[in-house]
Amino acid sequence: MNTTTTTMPSQPLAPPNVARTSVRPRRSAWTPARIGIYAFLLVCAVFFLFPLYVMLITSVKPMEEIRLGNLFSLPVKVTLEPWAVAWSAACTGLQCEGIKGGFFNSIAIVVPSTILSILVGALNGYALSFWKPRGGTLLFGVLLMGAFVPYQVIMFPLVRAFAALSIFGTLPGIVLIHTIFGMPVMTLLFRNYYASIPNELFKAARIDGGGFWRIFLQLMLPMSLPILVVAVIMQVTGIWNDFILGLVFAGRDHLPMTVQLNNVINTTTGERLYNVNMAATVLTSLVPLFIYLVSGRWFVRGIAAGAVKG
């Protein structure tokens, strides 16, 4: 053991259980491999970023310039007016107040829907993965099949059912809808994640006297941090950007921001203000983007490692 340590490059002395960011046993030496890694990431970054570049420069050009059609050229005249218009003055019907109107509605829909759908998904994944109830796999299989059905096809009976339950066009109604449609993917996410957690951990906890809920809340949930982050990313993005479900089930008083966004961008026979459309799209996507940015601190290593050893 000792002989090998002297020939290897020095290791970072991080304790095994603590993880802030990745603790890969490699120094940042400029080996060809390292340069290759950065080169690849850079090329990919360019591929990913150039549509954003086009979006941003289009959003600060006046319409006369856009009509000339030079996609990649920098604006001759920079104008921030499209951004102001998109937020507070674009026409969305009779009113011309931009997309800001639906902002708080979207928040009111996204927060409870995300929390509820993730909790239910984690619970299902946990129960399916560790407790293996009878018929669980079949139920999961049917649930997964449901994810493949385009929900517009089944909207009619759902509208009828919700109307019968008096929750059609209400906030609880739209939250329930998002939970229902998020269930297959969330359950899949957590079930597969828990499948990679060693069973010994679970058995040990049961021997220690843990019951269903205790093990879930005190052991599994805290260990699911990385997949929780992914789940939050998926649900916040999906629910924030959802249009048709919010349009039909949320009711006039709770219409999400995407309805205004659709009204600004989409039109059959009206004029298209491309700069305002681009600005409005970027503005709407700021909330999911913010979530992505702050989610970094929780992309940590699983604590499973430490738990097994300890």
Partner 1 sequence: MSAAARPGSHWLRHGVVYAAMLPMLATVLFAYLGTVFWSVRVSVSSSRTLPSSDFVGMAQYTRLFASERWLLSLENVVVFGVIFIAACLVLGFLLAVFIDQKVAGEGVLRTVFLYPYAMSFVATGLIWQWVLNPELGIQSTVRALGFETFTFDWIATQDKVMYAIALAAVWQAAGLVMALMLAGLRGIDDSLWKAARIDGIPTWRVYMSIVLPMLGPSIGTAVVLLSVSVVKVYDVVVAMTQGGPGLASEVPGKFIMDNLFGRANIGLASAASTVLLLTVLALLAPWMYARARAARNGGHR
Partner 2 sequence: MIRKHSLAIGASLAVLAVGAAHAQANRAEVIHWWTSGGESAAIQEIANGYKAAGGTWVDSAIAGGEAARSAAINRIVGGNPSTAAQFNTSQQFLDIVKGGMLNNVDEVAKKNDWDKILPAPILKSIKIDGHFYAVPVNIHMPAWFWYSKAAFAKAGIAAEPKTPEEFFAALDKLKAAGITPVAFGGQPWQEKIVFDALLAHIGGSDLYLKVYKGDQKAIASPEFKNVLASFKKLKSYTDAGSPNRNWNDATSMVISGKAGVQIMGDWAKGEFQAAKQTAGKEFGCFPGFGPKAPYIIAGDVFVFPKTTDAAAIKSQQLLATVMTSPATQVAFNNKKGSIPIRTDVDAKSMDTCAQQGIAAMKDVSRQLPNSEMLVAPDITGALQDVVTKFWNTNQSVDDAVKAVGAAVKG
Can you give the binding site for partner 2, defined by CB under 8 A? 63-64, 67-69, 91-96, 155-156, 159-160, 162-163, 168-169, 244, 247-248, 251-252, 259, 262-273
CB of 150 to partner 1, least distance (A): 5
The residue among 169 and 302 lying less far from partner 2, judged by its C-beta, is 169
104 makes contact, choosing from partner 2, partner 1, none, with CB < 5 to 8 Å by partner type, with none
- With CB under 8 A as the contact rule, which of the stretches 82-90, 96-104, 105-113, 208-216 interacts with partner 1? 208-216
Q: How far apart are the first and last CA of the chain?
A: 22
Site for partner 1 in 103-162 (CB under 8 A): 120, 123-124, 127, 129-134, 136-137, 139, 141-150, 152-154, 156-158, 161
With CB cut-offs between 5 and 8 Å by kind, which of partner 1, partner 2, none does residue 233 bind? partner 1
Q: Are the beta carbons of 178 and 246 closer than 8 angstroms?
A: no
Q: HSE-up of 83 (CA within 13 Å, CB side)? A: 12
Between 274-284 and 81-88, two packed helices, what is the crossing angle to 10 degrees?
A: 60
Under rule CB under 8 A, how many of the chain's residues touch partner 1? 112
- Between residues 65 and 238, which has the closer beta carbon with respect to partner 2? 65
- What whole-number distance in Å separates Cα of residue 62 and Cα of residue 60? 7
> Who contacts 210 (Cβ-Cβ below 8 Å, separation ≥6)?
218, 219
The footprint of partner 1 on residues 249-268 (CB under 8 A) is 258, 261-262, 265-266
By a kind-dependent CB cut-off of 5 to 8 A, residue 83 interacts, out of partner 1, partner 2, none, with none
Interface positions, 290-309, toward partner 1 (CB under 8 A): 292-293, 296, 299-302, 304-305, 308-309
**178 vs 191 by CB, closer to partner 2:** 178
Quick one: what does residue 141 bind among partner 1, partner 2, none, with the CB cut-off 5 to 8 Å set by partner type?
A: partner 1
Binding site partner of 101, from partner 1, partner 2, none, Cβ cut-off 5-8 A by kind: none
Candidate residues 6, 8, 32, 253; the one interacting with partner 1 per rule CB under 8 A = 8
By a kind-dependent CB cut-off of 5 to 8 A, residue 145 interacts, out of partner 1, partner 2, none, with: partner 1
Q: Which residue, 6 or 269, is less far from partner 2 as judged by CB?
A: 269
Q: Tell me how crowded residue 19 is: count the other CB atoms within 10 A of its CB.
A: 17
Q: Which residues are within 8 A (CB) of 59 and not within 5 positions of it... i.e. 6 or more apart?
A: 82, 83, 275, 276, 278, 279, 282
Segment 53 to 112, residues that bind partner 1, using CB under 8 A: 54-55, 58, 69, 71-72
Alpha helices, DSSP H only, in the chain? 2-7, 32-59, 63-68, 81-88, 103-126, 136-146, 155-164, 171-195, 199-207, 212-214, 221-223, 225-240, 244-249, 257-265, 274-284, 286-294, 304-309
To the nearest whole angstrom, how small is the minimum distance from the Cβ of residue 270 to partner 2? 3
| Selected range binding partner 1 among 45-53, 74-82, 102-110, 246-254, rule: CB under 8 A | 45-53
30 near partner 1, rule: CB under 8 A:
no
CA atoms lying within 13 Å on the CB side of residue 163: 7
CB atoms within 10 A of CB 47: 9
CA distances from 113 to 13, 134, 162, 173 (A): 42, 29, 17, 10
CA distance 174 to 167: 8
Judged by CB under 8 A, the residue of 20, 35, 41, 111 near partner 1 is 41
